A and B are shown apart, each in its own frame.
Chain A
């Protein structure tokens, strides 16, 4: 590969790392209910860290049928240059105390008494959560999305990655709800135009079958 193209490849990855920080800034400064801080944003920009996350997502995909699409999410996340995970830290133990009834428990005191779902494999988030608090994560999410748009960077949103990160215990211990934004600095967004069976048939598996497997065979036969 030409030196200049190599240089471009490393610069591209560096740009992704830089952009992830700027997107974190926008997500952090987005509004919070009542001005009370509760969201944290965590950047995974190491390929190995992202792979760990994808492995966990794939494990979750096997848990139940309605999570089968997690495998597709994992395939997309492997193409991401960085993953940002936003959390909500107050939605479990610290309801907003405004008795808004979004959780359906009428008042916050009743929500506090409510028994939470057990930590079992088929439970992604151990509700009931204080929905009014957890909505802060929506503001953080859109703060990140709009910054990615402003910077002209491709993004995808994955709640599967947030749930998987919670299982991996890489988020703060108070986290009750988490979602992820993946960004990619490539010429074709890996988060758009996703065909059927993408988890099985994607650039990575195509490369593996056509180049890594068929070409050496062809080469040894016809040499």
Chain B
């Protein structure tokens, strides 16, 4: 009798799961049936590059650094990252004004502003279509029993590094088959002292009896 090891089964399952998530995202609801969302999945080397990039943003964006650090931990166990992207210009002709321009034509004519995170100005409903796709992928991951979290930081990194090309807006869905859920309650990254220090800095009045007092010596 042929025996398949657990690691092999999990690796195979991850591949199928990512395929099914892509399918769910691809077939999810779209306004005006404008299905222009581009979806790719990345693993291994590209993920390492993304983690390094995020980590290098350290001072500029503590959030990105945290996610980069998290990704390094994540990659020790089976994981995958689904990248979803879309173009910024409107093809709806809704003329709704949410982007700050009265008509879609004005938005499409406006000067493009490039940056590392996204190219603007972008159509609100393009973003909604993209968000729905991301949520559908996450919902599918949930149904398949995978650990899952939606990251903008990792997607921004992938866009900045041209891992996903030909899009203006991105979002990513990270999935993992780790032994415990690696996305929430990540206490292991913070020592108690560090946590107390940051808390005191961010919420200075919390531990202080009298709000007017500033204790310089501390």
**What residues make up the interface of A, taking CB atoms closer than 8 Å to B?**
30-31, 33, 64, 66-67, 98-106, 114, 116-117, 122-129, 131-132, 134-139, 141-143, 145-146, 157, 159, 163, 176-177, 179
Nearest Cβ in chain A — how far from B48, in angstroms? 24
A-B contact count (CB 8 A): 151
The number of chain B residues touching the other chain, given as a range, is 35 or more
A135 engages B127 (CB within 8 Å): yes
B124 engages A177 (CB within 8 Å): yes
A104 engages B121 (CB within 8 Å): yes
B102 engages A102 (CB within 8 Å): no
Closest residue of chain A to B115 (Cβ to Cβ) is: A101
Chain B at the A interface: SS class: loop
* Choice from B101, B128, B139 contacting A138 with Cβ under 8 Å: B128
Chain B contacts for A102, CB-based, 8 A = 88, 117-118, 120-122, 127, 169
Nearest Cβ in chain B — how far from A148, in angstroms? 10
Closest residue of chain A to B125 (Cβ to Cβ) is: A159
B139 engages A146 (CB within 8 Å): yes
Chain A contacts for B112, CB-based, 8 A = 104
* Residue B51 lies at the interface, judged by CB distance under 8 Å to chain A: no
A142 engages B100 (CB within 8 Å): no
Closest residue of chain A to B63 (Cβ to Cβ) is: A98
Nearest Cβ in chain A — how far from B150, in angstroms? 6
B94 engages A106 (CB within 8 Å): no
Nearest Cβ in chain A — how far from B98, in angstroms? 4
A141 engages B128 (CB within 8 Å): yes
A66 engages B95 (CB within 8 Å): yes
Instruction: Report the separation of the CA atoms of residues A33 and B96 in the bound assembly, to the nearest whole angstrom.
Output: 23
* Choice from A64, A116, A132 contacting B95 with Cβ under 8 Å: A64
